[in-house]
Chain A
Amino acid sequence: MTEVNEKAAARDATNWAKKVSRLNVSEVPEGAVNINVEGKRLAGPIQGFGKMWQKTYQVRLPREDVSATDLIAAWKQRFPEFWPEGGSFYAPLTGIEPGEVALIGMTLPGRVKLSTGVMVLYADEESFTLMTPQGHMFAGWITFSAIEKEGKTVAQAQVLMRASDPIFELGLTLGGHKQEDRFWHQTLSNVAGHFGAPDALVDTQVVCVDKKRQWSKWRNVWHSSAIRSTLYMLGAPIRGAKRLLGRGALDAST
Chain B
Amino acid sequence: MPEATATFDVRRLGPASVVDIRGDVTSGSEDVLMAAYEEAGDAKAVILNFSELSYMNSGGIGLLVTLLVRANRRSQSLLAFGLSDHYRQIFELTRLDEAVGIHDSESDALAAAGAV
A residues apposed to B, CB below 8 Å: 4-5, 8-9, 11-13, 15-20, 41-47, 52, 54, 121-122, 124, 127, 129, 131, 141, 143, 145, 147, 158, 160, 209-210
Contact = CB atoms under 8 A, between A and B. Distances in A.
Contact of A11 (B27, B55, B59): B55
A8 B94 contact: no
A19 B66 contact: no
A141 B95 contact: no
Interface in B61-78: 62, 65-66, 68-69, 72-73
A143 B68 CA distance: 19
Contacts of B95: 41-44, 46-47
A19 B89 contact: yes
Q: How would you classify the secondary structure of chain B's contact residues: helix, strand, loop or mixed?
A: helix
26 contacts: A8-B54, A12-B55, A13-B86, A19-B89, A19-B92, A20-B93, A42-B93, A42-B95, A43-B95, A45-B65, A46-B65, A46-B95, A46-B98, A52-B65, A52-B69, A121-B58, A122-B58, A127-B58, A141-B58, A143-B62, A145-B27, A145-B59, A147-B2, A160-B65, A160-B66, A210-B69
A54 B57 contact: no
Contacts of A145: 27, 59
B102 to A, nearest CB: 14
Contacts of B1: 147
B99 interface: yes
Interface of B: 1-2, 24, 27, 54-55, 57-59, 62, 65-66, 68-69, 72-73, 86, 89-90, 92-96, 98-99
A129 B57 CA distance: 10
B54 A4 contact: yes
Contacts of B27: 143, 145, 158
A13 B87 CA distance: 11
Contacts of B66: 54, 160, 209
A8 to B, nearest CB: 4
A54 B59 CA distance: 12
Contacts of A210: 69, 72-73
